[in-house]
Chains A and B, each alone.
Chain A
Amino acid sequence: MGVPSRRIVNPLDIDRFDRIILPGVGNFGEFSRQLRFLGFQEPLTSFVRNQRGNLLGICVGAQILFEASEESPSEEGLGIISGKVLKVPGDQTAPVPRIGWDRLALVAPSPLTAEVAENLNRYFFAHSYFMNPTDSASVIAVSASNPLVPAIVSVAGVTALQFHPERSSNYGKQILLNFAKRAPDAT
């Protein structure tokens, strides 16, 4: 994408960056345990608390930003965004997991969705649980197909994406570029 980036292995390196991406494929509880085991929990929360830059969570990396999840009730999330992660209600017409491509319905303006065309752009989702923020005003976009679930949630300095921008072709690339290029205080 032409944006310099590095993989963070040592949690203490987090403060050297002003954009952090927390990607993820996995179970909420396992992800939480791994973050704790690897020592990333406190540096991540402190990065946000001290407003050192912007944090972008992807899929379970987004869900972990919330307080808790029905997927693993005994495990805690990072609690950076108020709210819980709930099981997607499914039926035969909308089976769960939700796997595949969907469009977004933008419900609030955000620098992250600049140059995103609602009717044309599509994004890859693969999830069984959805983000349910306490503050509904933090929802920037919802998925366009039933069941409608929050796809982008944003609070000061922190953005949570339910879909995978890194697997959403040029449509996802635009979102990642928006994240990389906007000013730290523009969230």
Chain B
Amino acid sequence: MLPRAITTITIDAGRAMFNYRFRPKLYLGDPINIARLYSRMGSDEVLVLDRSPKLFLEDFRPAYLGSVCRQVSTPVSYGGGLKAFDDVVWAFRAGVDRVVFSDSSKYALELIEQASQVYGRQAIVGVVNYDDRPWPRHPRLGGTSESLAGRIRDLTDAGVGEIFLQSVNRSGTRRGLDTSRVKSFPAFSKIPISISGGAKDLTDFDAAFKVGFSGVAASSIFALDSSGKTPLIGYLTEDDRRRMGWL
């Protein structure tokens, strides 16, 4: 399979935001328009992470998700507020191709199992956040994992078809992907693993692909200008892909 450069759109209460280390920092615009732009630019996949407040998600199942899916002609993955099977059904009916479960959800493992049985493993993504702190970061989670690798194994056993490793420390920083702790993971994983958090340039993407990551997800370098301070939606060109040997 060809390596994937994935565009991430983080949404907060219906607005697309640039997040720095998981905290909203800059308003980017309307998520539907941004998704449409990414699609037209040929994004390999649009990853929509909805960090809207719980009440917003529960009471107003975001109408924009259906619009995003209709506007985009590349794959759409969606994560945010998926606490019950009905939420998963709703997301697929809205048109998403894959649902994304964060490992900070204590309900994740049971729900993943249920969703995987109905929609198939290929439609389920598990996000594992990591940083410099010792594992486990979330002792309340289900499963038996005592390590990052164990957490990946638990999610895989539950029915996830892809893992997104997300560096908390690097997220939004453009300091480069933090592969130091995780670069060996693709070599032992039975399922594809992608990575995100801090991607700084295409060389950084390429280094991740070369150690076996299936995809790299990024927001900052696709949503902001080179100063990192002003919204400017952009994406790879076919020449970029050719130059990097990704075709």
Contacts and interface: CB of A to CB of B under 8 A. Distances in A.
A169 B191 contact: no
B117 A30 contact: yes
B20 interface: no
Contacts, number: 101
A92 B1 contact: no
Interface residues of A, dominant DSSP: mixed
Interface residues of B, number: 35
B190 A98 contact: no
A27 B117 contact: yes
B214 A60 contact: no
Nearest to B246: A101
B189 interface: yes
A97 to B, nearest CB: 4
Nearest to A95: B192
Contacts of B189: 92, 95
Interface in A109-158: 122, 124-128, 145
B1 A25 contact: no
Interface string B5-38: 0000000000000000000000000000000000
B4 interface: yes
- Interface residues on chain A, size class: 20 to 34
A26 B123 contact: yes
Interface string B111-122: 000000111111
Contact of A92 (B42, B75, B187): B187
B118 A128 contact: no
Contacts of A169: 39, 42, 73-74
B92 interface: yes
Question: Which 8 A-B residue pairings sit nearest by Cβ, starting from the closest?
Answer: A97-B122, A100-B1, A126-B122, A97-B161, A101-B2, A167-B75, A27-B120, A95-B192
Interface of B: 1-4, 39, 42, 44, 73-76, 92, 97-98, 117-123, 161-162, 186-193, 212, 214-215, 247
Given A95-B214, A126-B161, 6 more contacts: A27-B118, A92-B190, A95-B191, A103-B2, A126-B98, A145-B2
